[in-house]
Amino acid sequence: MIVPMIKYAFLVYHRDFDAFLQNLQELGVVDIIRQNHELTDEDRVMLGRVNRFKTAIKALQLRQPQAGEFTSAEAIVDELETLTKEQEQLEIAIKKAQKELNEVLPWGNFNPESIKLLADKGIRVRFFTTSEKSFSPEWENEMPIEVINRITGQVYFVLLQQNEDVEFTYDAAELKAPAFSFSQKEAEIKQFEQKISDIGVKLDQLAAGLPLLQQEHTRMVNDLDFKEVASSANKEADDSLMILQGWVPRPQNEELVKFLEKESIIYVSERATKTDNAPILLKNNRFAKLFEPIGALFTSPVYGELDLTPLFAPFFMLFFGFCLGDAGYGVLLLVGATIAKFKVKKEVKPILSLVQWLGSATVLFGAITGTVFGIDLVNANIPFLDGIKGYLLNQENMFNLALGLGAIQIIFGMFVKAVNQIKLWGWMHSLSTFGWLLLLLGSAAVYGLSTQEGSEIQLFGNLHLGILAVAGVGIFFFNSPGKNPFINVGLGLWDSYNMATGLFGDLLSYIRLFALGLSSGILGNVFNSLAFGMSPDIPVVGAIITVLILVVGHSINLFMSALGSLVHPMRLTFVEFYKNAGFTGGGKGYTPFRKQNVNV
């Protein structure tokens, strides 16, 4: 349900305006209508400082706080930025050193000074490399060559020459003599790593000042918000009067009125209408509230239309269970979420409650299909289950059930659309939708009755033609009330084409429920076969390998199947159901002007 809103306009004397805003921010119930706020230079400086602090807080939240000394929040941020920059430079230096280390690796651990000593005595050492195919052992007999290393198909060797250059005509590339040894470069990398470790200690010490940073960040955010709201007021009567507008949820209206009367503030209020762009605040029961974050992934409803959250929530839960469709996986989700609720913060518990409901739906569909951890109970040789196997649904039943659930949600969505049209524009605008409902449900009922033995009711008989005629009036003459009848007929024809093609495609989309549920069971069965088929006949080792394959395989299957079981019901909700329900969306969430708590 969308909470009704009340629009307010406050008239405040300019000298009392700042004090009024401070008290209004403390009250925290009014969503201010904000004008286009042009940033000043001071605002830009403050916004940059807010972003610096936010970045610093996120970085330090990953550290393990250690005792440290700091003079101010600004000093913490400055030192953090300095240390971070130094750490980045060291990481770049390590990458460069590792590249250089790989270049000298083929030459082994030698001292470059020995090459200089040989050069002083007139002996020059030249470095070469070539492929294994190009290198010939005869080179070592013909010239003073010493092979140093052979790595990944390459031969690395040196050529010794005295006094004068020796002409080298073989197929090999000459390399520059290494300026450092392998051990020297390793020592350099270790020095860099030690410096990074020392920086890590300093960062851990800075993390102890995280509460101070959060307090300062929150103060700046509140100040920025205050300035933006202050600039949203209209100035009247030679700038002596400030007029500010905002929205208040009806449940908080009494609290605001008491505040305004206490402060002797002049105000005008009126209830928001369906044409107002009022902010959206949802209020649902405990079950539907769990699904609000899922609906928010798409968009919020506009003010005046129906909140579809409680209407799609049961379908979403059933669709998730249908897609995952394994009672064993459902038990894992249910038990895991229940245990986790005792260990997590209060803010996370609603998500775990949602997982509990989704797990329960998975257990339900796993039970009616007879699937437990990929085991098909219908074909399993379990004597005590023989009595219930006949009640379990087979693949054909599940296919039909998927289409049946899709048809129910589509028809339900069309009823919702009709109610929404009545709510927004009046009953005449709903006649076209009711016409389609009469056509679809009436035709289905006539077809069902015509299949009964001895029934005189036939498709396109008098009863059916009467239904089609009444439905046609709504479809072709009331699809856009107030327009020319000929235009309505044209729009009705276009609407008929869209409905004929769209409904069929929408219905087929629900086959994905059956396909995902089937694939989940098949993959689980595959991992079971691998676990028992690949394990050796060694008593202990075989059991360990079997358990390992089962745990890893079913973990992968559970993760992938659960992900698909979330994504595809979302698609069915946001595309098929929302479209047939005539959902508009695009509303702005209720964000009251209030002081933030100390967090990011």
The predicted structure's pLDDT at residue 252: 92
The predicted structure's pLDDT at residue 600: 45
User: Is 319 inside any structural domain?
Assistant: yes
Distance in angstroms (rounded) separating the CA atoms of residues 34 and 226: 11
The predicted structure's pLDDT at residue 164: 65
User: Is 101 inside any structural domain?
Assistant: no
Same domain, yes or no: 41 and 29: no
Same domain, yes or no: 81 and 124: no
Same domain, yes or no: 193 and 242: no
* pLDDT tens digits along 419-429: 888 888 788 88
Q: Is the pLDDT of residue 333 over 60?
A: yes
| 351 CB-near residues (< 8 Å, 6+ apart) | 293
What percentage of the chain exceeds 90 in pLDDT?
34
* pLDDT tens digits along 192-209: 999 999 999 999 999 888
Distance in angstroms (rounded) separating the CA atoms of residues 403 and 401: 5
The predicted structure's pLDDT at residue 361: 95
Distance in angstroms (rounded) separating the CA atoms of residues 127 and 146: 10
Mark which of 180, 201, 216 sits at the end of a domain. 180
The predicted structure's pLDDT at residue 312: 93
- Chain-centre distance for alpha carbon 572: 17
The predicted structure's pLDDT at residue 599: 54
* Token duo for residue 87: 């750490």
SS3 content of the chain, % helix, strand, coil (to 5): 65, 10, 25
To the nearest whole number, what is the mean pLDDT of the chain?
86
- Give the number of other Cβ atoms within 10 Å of residue 439's Cβ: 19
What residues make up the domain containing 475?
A: 416-509
Indicate the pLDDT class of residue 245, thresholds 50, 70 and 90. very high
The predicted structure's pLDDT at residue 484: 65
Report the pLDDT averaged over residues 223-237.
87
* Token duo for residue 538: 């060694």
Same domain, yes or no: 477 and 426: yes
The predicted structure's pLDDT at residue 535: 73
Instruction: Note whether 97 and 188 are within 8 A (CB).
Output: yes
Alpha-helix runs per DSSP H in 244-326: 253-263, 286-289, 292-296, 309-324
Mark which of 509, 539, 569 sits at the end of a domain. 509
Parallel, antiparallel, or unpaired: how do β-strands 371-372 and 375-376 relate?
Answer: antiparallel
User: Which stretches of 100-152 are assigned E, i.e. beta strand?
Assistant: 123-131, 145-151
- Chain-centre distance for alpha carbon 347: 17
Closest by CA to 555, choosing from 336, 351, 356, 378, is 336
* pLDDT tens digits along 283-328: 999 999 999 999 988 888 988 888 999 999 999 999 999 999 899 9
User: Is 17 inside any structural domain?
Assistant: yes
Distance in angstroms (rounded) separating the CA atoms of residues 582 and 28: 34
Same domain, yes or no: 572 and 538: yes
User: Is 150 inside any structural domain?
Assistant: yes
Q: Is the pLDDT of residue 231 over 70?
A: yes
Same domain, yes or no: 262 and 372: no
Strand partners, 154: 131, 151
Instruction: Note whether 330 and 363 are within 8 A (CB).
Output: yes
Q: Is the pLDDT of residue 452 over 90?
A: no
Report the pLDDT averaged over residues 530-543.
79
CA atoms within 13 A on the CB side of 146: 7
Least confident stretch, 218-232, 493-507, 510-524 = 493-507
Distance in angstroms (rounded) separating the CA atoms of residues 216 and 97: 40
Instruction: Note whether 328 and 373 are within 8 A (CB).
Output: yes
User: Is 408 inside any structural domain?
Assistant: no
Q: Which residue has the higher pLDDT, 148 or 457?
A: 148
Indicate the pLDDT class of residue 32, thresholds 50, 70 and 90. very high
Same domain, yes or no: 311 and 379: yes
Instruction: Note whether 546 and 535 are within 8 A (CB).
Output: yes
> Looking at the 3D structure of the chain, how many domains does it have?
5
* pLDDT tens digits along 549-591: 899 999 999 999 999 999 999 999 998 999 888 888 888 989 9
Residue 205 is classified by DSSP as: H
Same domain, yes or no: 369 and 290: yes
Distance in angstroms (rounded) separating the CA atoms of residues 353 and 373: 23
User: Is 588 inside any structural domain?
Assistant: no
Report the pLDDT averaged over residues 18-35.
90
Residue 252 is classified by DSSP as: G
User: Is 595 inside any structural domain?
Assistant: no
- What is the secondary structure of 369-400 as a DSSP string? HTEETTEETTTS--GGGTTTGGGS--HHHHHH
Distance in angstroms (rounded) separating the CA atoms of residues 269 and 272: 9
Cβ-in-10-Å burial (0-12, 13-18, 19+) of 130 comes to middle
CATH of the domain at 249: 3.30.70.240
Strand partners, 173: 129
Closest by CA to 170, choosing from 193, 140, 209, 192, is 140
Cβ-in-10-Å burial (0-12, 13-18, 19+) of 103 comes to middle
Residue type at position 19: A
Same domain, yes or no: 425 and 457: yes
Indicate the pLDDT class of residue 485, thresholds 50, 70 and 90. low
Distance in angstroms (rounded) separating the CA atoms of residues 261 and 263: 5
Mark which of 281, 301, 320 sits at the end of a domain. 281
Report the pLDDT averaged over residues 514-534.
87
Indicate the pLDDT class of residue 352, thresholds 50, 70 and 90. very high
Report the pLDDT averaged over residues 73-77.
90
Helix axes 210-231, 41-60, angle to 10 degrees: 150
* pLDDT tens digits along 121-158: 878 888 899 998 888 888 888 888 888 888 888 999 98
Same domain, yes or no: 505 and 525: no
Indicate the pLDDT class of residue 329, thresholds 50, 70 and 90. very high
Same domain, yes or no: 368 and 491: no
Q: Is the pLDDT of residue 405 over 90?
A: yes
Report the pLDDT averaged over residues 485-512.
80
User: Is 402 inside any structural domain?
Assistant: no
Same domain, yes or no: 241 and 277: yes
